[in-house]
Structure 1
Amino acid sequence: MIDLFGNSGDTYGSQGQFTRDPYTGALVPVVVEQTSRGERSFDIFSRLLRERIVFVTGQIEDGMASLVTAQLLFLESENPSKPISMYINSPGGVVTAGLQIYDTMQYIKPRVSTVCMGQAASMGSFLLAAGEPGMRIALPNARIMVHQPSGGARGMASDIEIQAREILRIRSRMNDLYVKFTGRSLEEIEKAMDRDTFLEAEEAKAFGLVDKVFETRPENEESSGEDGSGGAPE
């Protein structure tokens, strides 16, 4: 059961309602909001979307990437100048799906703050590092992992050769982007990406993947949310 309260303006009742996530099958709490226009219900993620909070959770694949990009585009249409917060807990996934989210983050006008909670591995770490400079955050027990793209190939030798060249081209592009995100040299990035490299939050900060490590939300952000890291509703 969830129990959310508001003491001014809109109020939230306490209720034991849930909906089911269409991708994971997990139960998702429903928030019932009492307003001057009547009662409205939202699943908890839709309610947080109203506060410009987007989640990248689980495997990054085409379906999930389309949902994330749709939310980013919607929030831009709602307010092109107000920052967006992206909370990441992902083991990674499909490179092209991750690049879809990345390109949309660059395409839209609002700044996108990224926050790692749990883990950001592979394409998850890529999206974390791709956030607005100065607005990339890790929580203290978050784990970040970087590595080179992986893939397999079957078929005729000529087709395998083509696919191998494509993987190498993707690796080169990813390395160049990590250089841009971190300020590290290409040699340092290639060394880190050669095998799985796991980093704690402070190590990720030192490497340049994030800018800040927060144990609690700074007080000046709780009231305004001006840095886009999930401030309280205005």
Structure 2
Amino acid sequence: MAALVNGNEIILSGTVGDLYWDECFTASDVIFALAQVGRDQDVTIRLNSGGGIATEGAAIHSAIAAHRGRKVIVVEGIAASAASVIAMAGDEVVMSLGALMMVHDPSGFTFGTIDDHELQIKALTALATAMAGIYAEKTGKTVAEARADMQAEVWMTAEEAVTAGYADRTLARAANDDAAPEPTAFDYRLFEHPPERLVALADQRAWTKRARPTAASPAVPPRLKEKPMANAPAGNEPVIPENPTAALAAVVDGAKPTATASTVSRADASEIVTLCVAGGVPAMAASLLAEGATVAQAKERIGAAGEVKNLVALARRKDPTLPADLDATMLAEGKTVEQARAALFDKLVASEEQTSVSSHVPAALGNAGPTASATSMQRELKRAGLTKGA
């Protein structure tokens, strides 16, 4: 793990996402680190990364943006590609003198049919548009202007990043500090237009040989930009959120990880976070990881949460006065699907009875008015799948 916590300071260095490099950090690493700092505490994040998995960068951006305390992100060395997306989550973005920032379009491998390639085009387009929105929000540029920067693969010095709006200020160097920050280890040949000094540094430090390819992750050919997602087996590709910034906006719940959480592997933790985003319940990620849930357990819990959300949506169609966040409340209370269904049934019957009383049920119904109302409601709710034991 390359997410280190020291009081109210988090250090993020290495590759964004577990991209078979020795030093890296993932969304789950950052979630744990923010939880250790405390959800309402101010935090300084020192960032030094050449990029990595673009969707992981979007998830990390969302987790940091959701943190309630003030966030100062200091770019030390470099924030390129996915790492520059992360930097945009800061309330203040500070560039160390000599540091670099780079923005560009995401890219990826595709192998398969025409449909496979078309799906990748849609995924990359959606991801690029979401990233451009993040840059635009920080810089004040239009989304089109930010996207133009991405397509040109713009490299910026500290001063240029401030001028372009990607950073707020440069960090004054101490009088006795003559050394410029060194970029983190990364194969900078993977980019289209990397500064020659970075390529030379990567060759000199043998960073171009540090990647450890596996059977599932073949060696990356020169000049291929970072992947938007890890290479997964066909049919098991991670789902790309339509709005990465909002997708993990509620992930950090302030709870410190328990000892059990250490049993969750990095790969499982990343999969659980992805499943939570895809299932529309990003807030569950932190609790599942803290509990040390397995991927199978996470899938079951996420599925149940989705069913609770659907039940609440059905109930609100019948009674729009029910709170819009009732599903979140029920999930926070730990209600099962059956408990949620029973609670919704009771709320809707009570609402119908109140409506019947306030509407002055005809006297001909006598004392059977509320009972008849409940029976009628029960028939309606049974058809909607909201009755107890349905």
Q: TM-score range by the shorter chain?
A: 0.5 to 0.7
Give yes or no for contact 1:129–1:181 (8 Å, CA) kept in 2.
yes
* Matches of 2:152 and 2:12, distance apart in 1: 24
* Matches of 1:106 and 1:146, distance apart in 2: 19
**1:138 maps onto 2:120 in alignment:** no
- Name the counterpart of 1:158: 115
- Name the counterpart of 2:16: 60
The equivalent position to 2:36 in structure 1, one of 69, 74, 97, is 74
- Worse-superposed segment, 140-149 or 123-132: 123-132
One-letter identity of the residue aligned with 2:11: F
The equivalent position to 1:88 in structure 2, one of 28, 37, 47, is 47
Offset of residue 203 of structure 1? 0.4
One-letter identity of the residue aligned with 2:15: Q
Deviations 1:109-147 (A, max 9, x none): 112110001111001111112211xx2100110011110
One-letter identity of the residue aligned with 1:70: F
Task: Tell me the SS of whatever aligns to 1:194.
Answer: helix
Query: When you count strand as a share of all residues, which structure comes out higher?
Result: 1
Give yes or no for contact 2:74–2:95 (8 Å, CA) kept in 1.
yes
Offset of residue 169 of structure 1? 0.7
* Matches of 2:68 and 2:172, distance apart in 1: 29
One-letter identity of the residue aligned with 1:67: D
Give yes or no for contact 1:69–1:100 (8 Å, CA) kept in 2.
no
The equivalent position to 1:216 in structure 2, one of 163, 169, 173, is 173
Give yes or no for contact 2:12–2:48 (8 Å, CA) kept in 1.
yes
**1:108 maps onto 2:67 in alignment:** yes
Where structure 2 has 5 or more consecutive residues not aligned to the other structure, the ranges are 19-23, 175-390
* Matches of 1:111 and 1:188, distance apart in 2: 28
Deviations 1:70-125 (A, max 9, x none): 10122125xx1x31011111000111211221111122211211000111100111
Give yes or no for contact 2:128–2:147 (8 Å, CA) kept in 1.
no
The equivalent position to 2:77 in structure 1, one of 118, 123, 137, is 118
* Matches of 2:66 and 2:78, distance apart in 1: 25
Instruction: State which structure, 1 or 2, has the greater radius of gyration over its C-alpha atoms.
Output: 2
Report % sequence identity: 26
Distance 1:180 1:128, change over 3 A: same
- Worse-superposed segment, 163-172 or 98-107: 98-107
Offset of residue 190 of structure 1? 2.0
Give yes or no for contact 1:139–1:215 (8 Å, CA) kept in 2.
yes
One-letter identity of the residue aligned with 2:73: T
- Name the counterpart of 1:4: none
TM-score, normalised to structure 1, is 0.67
* Matches of 2:100 and 2:11, distance apart in 1: 17
The 5-angstrom pairing of residues 20-31 of structure 1 reads none
* Matches of 1:109 and 1:76, distance apart in 2: 9
Deviation above 4 Å: which 4+ runs of structure 1? none
